[in-house]
Amino acid sequence: MPQPHLTSTAVVATSAAERYAKQLLSHLGQRVAFETEDAVSTAVVAGASVRIVVGDRDLTLTVSGDQVEAVAQARHVLGSHLERFGRRDGLTVQWSDAGHELPENVQGHERPDHRRVH
């Protein structure tokens, strides 16, 4: 039986969306090849597709894939790094799941295991 397609999105309010996107792409770009066109950057992180969109007053992160573990790991990578970069500005990443619920142990962006995933 095929795995369901999972999608999680976080819209992070910030007046410095472009700066945070550049910082996130620069940091993750050391290990992952991002493609950027205008305000949208895409890549595969930890086996899941990620999309980072710079808005006027927010940064939208979207993670999608067919494997729960891959989606959870990619959410952790994006969320934890962005929160660390935006600590001074109080940035928080809260994920919402489209049309499904991930198992409770992967609802946040906590790392599902201790392996390095990016």
Instruction: Spell out the domain ranges in the chain.
Output: 6-106
Distance of CA 107 to the CA centre of its chain: 13
pLDDT over threshold 50, residue 116: no
How confident is the model at residue 97, as a pLDDT? 85
Confidence of residue 74 (pLDDT cuts 50, 70, 90): very high
Q: What is the assigned CATH class of domain 6-106? A: alpha beta
Q: How many residues does the chain have?
A: 118
H or E element that contains 19: helix 17-28
Which residue type, as a one-letter code, is found at position 86? Answer: G
How confident is the model at residue 75, as a pLDDT? 96
β-strand partners of 60: 11, 53
pTM (2 decimals)? 0.82
Cα Rg of the chain, angstroms: 13
Instruction: Please give the structure tokens belonging to residue 35.
Output: 């493609």
Which long-range contacts (C-beta less than 8 Å, at least 24 apart) are formed by 96-102? 96/8, 96/9, 96/10, 97/6, 97/7, 97/8, 98/7, 98/8, 98/9, 99/7, 100/4, 100/6, 100/7, 102/6, 102/8, 102/68, 102/71, 102/72
Percent of the chain's residues with pLDDT above 70: 79
How confident is the model at residue 28, as a pLDDT? 94
Say how far apart CA 42 and CA 35 lie, in whole Å: 5
Encode pLDDT of 2-40 as tens digits.
Answer: 556 899 999 999 999 999 999 999 999 989 999 999 999
